[in-house]
A and B are shown apart, each in its own frame.
Chain A
């Protein structure tokens, strides 16, 4: 009990220190330290994940035994292979309205949902490294972590005793995130249009967030007839993609010097949009096939 209290104290001190550094970066002296911002972003993500783990460490979702080790390896290898196959090196598949087919994204979501957040994170992160290696593109740590987060978030469903409770929590989370986003837009600094120089109106963006939130909440109830598993894997998968791709695209603002506009339009939307569609179709199919095998083998 004592060690847990000490650990919480240390974690809170570290978080406070990170917040102080973040505020220093936004202060008048902050321009000198801009080079640290992306690293800070990665460290904050790490601390948040650690807090999440520490708060729920009693859960079996975080257990790493032989089974999890093997599924980590299988998931990562499969994600690497399918990423290589469908990135245009082997198959050039027809695309519709600029949407490309990237079925591999269903794998970290499926492995995270079925085997836990640790397996999901490993599948996404190491699988992305493997896919880039096989293709010969190199190592891009920020995108590896982003892909890992997709699988980790999808695996958080295992922290809940049942799927219905996880969906209810997700509903509340979406509601809170929508309100927070509206608050940030309304109270945040003025953003000038890069070409016209005029102030970008805020209300349309408020409506975009409200509509997005309503659609997400509607999806939760509309998918109920398809089964709680289908609804859960789709919603947790979509949340994972938004957080994972959002993390990587946002970090690229400091890594590559992109504007927020370029990061969102050039990276986040083209990646997250098609990925959500791919995952929504293929992840439930994979899950159904896995459950059929489980019922047959009893394992």
Chain B
């Protein structure tokens, strides 16, 4: 099997932006989003995240796997929180009851306006986080991660380690394929593990151990090559050069505004939990 990156070059505004600016924007949007529980504020961030996703021109086919996993997870955990009640003390102190369900004469599930509003806010929140996060691997060139993190202040050694890690993925993936085929030729079948849980896990070892040890042994040659080229002796230069354009500076300014504006609104008491009026009117007297 081939291990390949999800990134494809697309001539879009999102891909033309500097990856450093994009990562800073993603973190700023994430931090600001988590300040609020008001539906209306959550909706703003949802629209922002959806806008980025749309501008990236990613099709559902491209990101299908991410949504097939995250979609049910988001829904299930939202329902679970809805059924188990308050997220923590102080978010809301009274409930406007819309109805009750008694199970097994002992468990009482109360449906309230607050729970519905909270569930919707949580759904918007988690979906926005997913939308912000899922765009990154599809729209940033893997060969730029090292220089990107160096540009964000990571020391040379760590930035280079990140660059090397990205470059090693296809190589080690190919080694895995070779090892797996070799083991299969000897009668090893991963899909048909038998026995208890311990036996099944142990049966993964013939696949895991050779690949890891081979990678470590091969790593010794890389270490020698790097030492012979005086790695780490002085500051490192990078082949790709990143430069901020006007659009990148605007994005950075917007990111700063998001965080500072969000912090100011939060401190002034805005953006707290809010229940729509029509839900409150539906509550039982």
B277 at the interface (CB under 8 A from A): no
Inter-chain contact A35/B26, CB cutoff 8 Å: no
Inter-chain contact A73/B161, CB cutoff 8 Å: yes
Please name all residues of chain A whose beta carbon is closer than 8 Å to the beta carbon of B5 when the two chains form the complex. Answer: 133-134
Inter-chain contact A33/B266, CB cutoff 8 Å: yes
Residue on B nearest A135 in the bound complex, by CB = B65
Contact partner of A71 among B62, B63, B135, B219, CB < 8 A? B219
Please name all residues of chain A whose beta carbon is closer than 8 Å to the beta carbon of B220 when the two chains form the complex. Answer: 297, 299
Q: How many residues of B contact A (CB 8 A)?
A: 95
Inter-chain contact A31/B160, CB cutoff 8 Å: no
Contact partner of A70 among B129, B164, B169, CB < 8 A? B164
Inter-chain contact A195/B84, CB cutoff 8 Å: yes
Inter-chain contact B165/A73, CB cutoff 8 Å: yes
Inter-chain contact A130/B191, CB cutoff 8 Å: no
CA of A293 to CA of B133 in the docked complex: distance in angstroms? 40
* A89 CB → nearest B CB, Å: 7
Inter-chain contact A136/B161, CB cutoff 8 Å: no
CA of A278 to CA of B198 in the docked complex: distance in angstroms? 8
B152 at the interface (CB under 8 A from A): no
B36 at the interface (CB under 8 A from A): yes
Query: Which of the 9-residue segments B9-17, B209-217, B238-246, B250-258 touches chain A?
Result: B209-217
Please name all residues of chain A whose beta carbon is closer than 8 Å to the beta carbon of B133 when the two chains form the complex. Answer: 137-140
Inter-chain contact A74/B215, CB cutoff 8 Å: yes
Please name all residues of chain A whose beta carbon is closer than 8 Å to the beta carbon of B107 when the two chains form the complex. Answer: 195-196
Contact partner of B85 among A92, A253, A259, CB < 8 A? A259
B66 at the interface (CB under 8 A from A): yes
B44 at the interface (CB under 8 A from A): no
Residue on B nearest A279 in the bound complex, by CB = B201
* B61 CB → nearest A CB, Å: 11
Please name all residues of chain A whose beta carbon is closer than 8 Å to the beta carbon of B172 when the two chains form the complex. Answer: 74, 77-78, 81
Please name all residues of chain B whose beta carbon is closer than 8 Å to the beta carbon of A103 when the two chains form the complex. Answer: 201, 204, 208
B162 at the interface (CB under 8 A from A): yes
A259 with B161, Cβ < 8 A, contacts A66-B223, A93-B191 known: no
Please name all residues of chain B whose beta carbon is closer than 8 Å to the beta carbon of A130 when the two chains form the complex. Answer: 165-166, 169
A194 at the interface (CB under 8 A from B): yes
B182 at the interface (CB under 8 A from A): no
Report A76-101 CB contacts with B as 1/0, cut-off 8 Å: 11101110110001111110110101
CA of A90 to CA of B134 in the docked complex: distance in angstroms? 20
Please name all residues of chain B whose beta carbon is closer than 8 Å to the beta carbon of A293 when the two chains form the complex. Answer: 213, 216-217
A35 with B66, Cβ < 8 A, contacts A93-B190, A293-B217 known: no
CA of A23 to CA of B184 in the docked complex: distance in angstroms? 58
B91 at the interface (CB under 8 A from A): yes
CA of A261 to CA of B82 in the docked complex: distance in angstroms? 12
Inter-chain contact B90/A277, CB cutoff 8 Å: no
* B71 CB → nearest A CB, Å: 12
Please name all residues of chain B whose beta carbon is closer than 8 Å to the beta carbon of A262 when the two chains form the complex. Answer: 77, 80-81, 84
Contact partner of A136 among B1, B137, B173, CB < 8 A? B137
For A136, A196, A266, A282, the residue with the greatest tally of chain B CB atoms inside 10 Å of its CB is: A136
Report A29-51 CB contacts with B as 1/0, cut-off 8 Å: 01111111011000000000000
A255 at the interface (CB under 8 A from B): yes
A154 at the interface (CB under 8 A from B): no
Please name all residues of chain B whose beta carbon is closer than 8 Å to the beta carbon of A34 when the two chains form the complex. Answer: 37, 90-91
> Could you tell me which residues of chain B, from 101 to 118, have a CB within 8 Å of some CB in chain A?
106-109, 118
A62 at the interface (CB under 8 A from B): no
Inter-chain contact B162/A253, CB cutoff 8 Å: no
Query: Which of the 9-residue segments A14-22, A239-247, A283-291 touches chain B?
Result: A283-291
B185 at the interface (CB under 8 A from A): no
Inter-chain contact B169/A81, CB cutoff 8 Å: yes
A3 at the interface (CB under 8 A from B): no
Please name all residues of chain A whose beta carbon is closer than 8 Å to the beta carbon of B283 when the two chains form the complex. Answer: none
Inter-chain contact A278/B201, CB cutoff 8 Å: yes
B281 at the interface (CB under 8 A from A): no
B188 at the interface (CB under 8 A from A): no
* A265 CB → nearest B CB, Å: 8
Contact partner of B204 among A32, A122, A266, A282, CB < 8 A? A282
Contact partner of B222 among A31, A70, A195, A278, CB < 8 A? A70
B126 at the interface (CB under 8 A from A): yes
Inter-chain contact B212/A137, CB cutoff 8 Å: no
* B132 CB → nearest A CB, Å: 8
Inter-chain contact A138/B267, CB cutoff 8 Å: no
> Could you tell me which residues of chain B, from 142 to 193, have a CB within 8 Å of some CB in chain A?
142, 157-158, 160-162, 164-166, 168-169, 172-173, 176, 190-191, 193
Among all A-B residue pairs, the 3 with the closest Cβ atoms: A138-B133, A35-B35, A73-B164
| Extra inter-chain contacts (8) besides given A69-B157, A77-B166, A107-B212, CB under 8 Å | A31-B90, A138-B130, A196-B106, A256-B126, A256-B129, A266-B80, A282-B205, A290-B213
23 contacts between A and B (CB under 8 A): A35-B271, A67-B223, A69-B161, A70-B226, A73-B164, A74-B168, A78-B211, A85-B176, A92-B191, A93-B191, A110-B212, A122-B158, A126-B165, A130-B165, A134-B169, A137-B134, A138-B137, A196-B106, A196-B107, A261-B84, A262-B81, A278-B201, A281-B201
